Structure 1
Amino acid sequence: MLDEPNNWGRWGAADERGALNLLTPETVLAAASCVREGRVLGLSLPIRGATSSPAPTTVPHLRGRPLPQHFMSVDGGDYAAGTRPIGAGLRMADDALVVTPHGTTTHMDALCHMWSGDELYNGHPADRVRSYGAGRCGIDKAGPVVARGVLFDVPRLRGVDHLAATDRITPDDLEACGVELRPGDVAVVRTGWPLVWQDGPDAYWSGQPGLSADAGRWLAARDVCAVASDNAAIGGLNERQLADEGLADDLHMILLWRHGVPLLEMLWLEELAGTSRTDFLFLAAPLRIEGGTASPVTPVAVL
């Protein structure tokens, strides 16, 4: 599969950041010029925990994934709602949060998340991915993402609220959006699929629209530094929550493994779409989870 174009070796044999190397100081300064209004929009879904309530089930998620758990601690040990005294009449509440990012909340995939054979992106040995974390290409290697974001609003192009579950976005669709894409940009692709959650989980789990393999190759060829979308897997999913494409056409293999392009999934893009802005300053900072395959993130658009 590496007979296809790829970024292995492009930034040296030791590289673990992939296309994020495109975010040079000059690229970041150019991205800052997109700020014309000073308006700030959050692009993430909420994290709702509390195992004693149905709250976690009210946020879009893939079926069968462990949902977030949020506990409040009393006196540093008793996990129940409440506060603890710290002297002089003051009270303090502490939090404990358990999150499985993939499929349950807005997150960023690390380059160690998926691979083929015995090698991660850039030829790093896959046997370094263990239960205690990935020794290579973990999310801690990514660092903050500060880039020009470009919105591909495909539902708006087609005149619908959201795409159908079986829709696959093609390069022609991306070109028809009429936006300018530059090296080092974050391609933000709207499908509108989170809106389907309002019709119930079964409707959301009926499949998902997403990028086609050729659309992923189209974006990689234009040197995007990351791809973000409001669906759960960048590519489309069937009713079993799986991709129909073979390994050669899997979007994670094309973007993460071959080109080192991080993926940000399960964004909330409705307010951004309502502004009619197609370019903006895009910010996202993953947690420095050593060896992590992903991190929850709160992407931000600054208009």
Structure 2
Amino acid sequence: MCDDHHGVTGDQSADTSRLLATSPSNWGRWGETDEVGSLNFLTSAEVMRGVRSVRQGKVFTCGEVIGSASGDPLWPGRIHAKRETVIDKASYVRGDLSSLPGGAEFADDKIEMFLQGSTQFDALGHVWYDDMLWNGYPATDTNGGMKKASILPIAERGVVGRGVLLDMARFKGKEYLEKGDLLGLDDILGCAEGQGVTIERHDILCLRLGFLQLLHIQGPDVFYRDFLEPGLTYSPALVDWFHRMEIPCLSTDTISNETELDPRVGVQIPLHCALMRNLGIAFNEICNFERLAEDCHADGQWDFLYAAAPLKVAEATGAPTNVLAIK
């Protein structure tokens, strides 16, 4: 998500409100002070169910590289992460520093980045409409830093359970989905059936679209031209399915976990509103499922232990994470 998304017009905001007027809600389900939403479904029993998916001992990290030479995948308008070396061997050669007592030396660096500029989790209060965040917190709680529904409660809790990967690109007969390709509930269910995997209640749903890999293949000039991410589109049936299945977390390898300006309803980011704001479903974005998907195609195991925790950043709208998938 990018800061520009909050610049919708009043008419668009009203359209979102009307569109989701009868959409299901989990507000109050876990009390008036809840800030982690559907992650409450991930009980200790669900963690153990995820552990039972570990059958081979294979470990995959699904975070994108931060500060890569070809550029990090991030929403247009955001600035790439900047890593800066602060201390190196040259610091000692120049005489800026002296070796430590005993002769040891060290290097140091720092990084400046958008907290949602790489593989990351959204805070539940990141997106809102009608001036209310997840669970009914007022939107004014975001002023100067998120006082409620920030990323910190999710970071302190962690996200662990049974993950299921669906290769939506391969299901659509492509190596990578392209700008404007749309997905619906039938695609999710059809892909799962084709892969021979059953999506169960409380599963962490992971979708591979492959789209962000085109950044490295096409280069940024082509990739960001007329930018339009492929992805899920809004429908009442899709939202009801997420609600009925009590999905705690949606994880994809795209920037927004949905197509941006949904052409079917003419509303921007309706699933952020229907799933995250209303149902409290955690959004994990900009993952890299390439190696994991390749291995799943090879051995036919599409479920795994999913484990992740964003950085503990106070009052933040999101934070980077490195997802672990253990098969």
* Aligned residue number for residue 4 of structure 2: none
* Aligned residue number for residue 9 of structure 2: none
Greater helix share, structure number: 2
Q: Report if aligned partners of 1:135, 1:291 keep a CA contact under 8 Å in 2.
A: yes
- Work out whether 1:10 is the aligned partner of 2:29: yes
Shift of 1:290: 1.3
- Work out whether 1:294 is the aligned partner of 2:318: yes
The residue correspondences of 1:93-242 to structure 2 (distance < 5 A) are 93-102=107-116, 104-131=117-144, 133-142=145-154, 143-177=157-191, 178=193, 179-197=197-215, 198-205=217-224, 206-214=227-235, 215-237=238-260
Question: Unaligned stretches of 5+ in structure 2?
Answer: 1-19
Task: Say which SS state the counterpart of residue 90 (structure 1) adopts.
Answer: coil
Segments of 4+ in structure 1 off by > 4 A? 81-84, 242-249
Q: Report if aligned partners of 2:258, 2:269 keep a CA contact under 8 Å in 1.
A: no
Q: Which amino acid in structure 1 is aligned with residue 148 of structure 2?
A: R
Q: Find the aligned partners of 1:188 and 1:45 in 2 and give their Cα distance.
A: 15
In angstroms, what is the RMSD of aligned CA positions? Answer: 2.2
Q: Find the aligned partners of 1:69 and 1:248 in 2 and give their Cα distance.
A: 30
Task: Say which SS state the counterpart of residue 10 (structure 1) adopts.
Answer: coil
Q: Which amino acid in structure 1 is aligned with residue 127 of structure 2?
A: M
TM-score (norm 2): 0.82
Greater strand share, structure number: 1
Q: Report if aligned partners of 1:248, 1:254 keep a CA contact under 8 Å in 2.
A: no
Shift of 1:199: 1.0
Q: Which amino acid in structure 1 is aligned with residue 83 of structure 2?
A: H
TM-score (norm 1): 0.88
Q: Find the aligned partners of 1:192 and 1:29 in 2 and give their Cα distance.
A: 30
Shift of 1:300: 0.9
Shift of 1:202: 3.5
Shift of 1:85: 3.1
* Aligned residue number for residue 52 of structure 1: none
Structure 1 220/199 Cα, relative in aligned 2: closer, same or farther at 3 Å? farther
Identity over aligned residues, as a percent? Answer: 31
Shift of 1:172: 0.6
Which of these residues, 278, 289, 295, is aligned with residue 258 of structure 1? 278
Question: Unaligned stretches of 5+ in structure 1?
Answer: 50-54
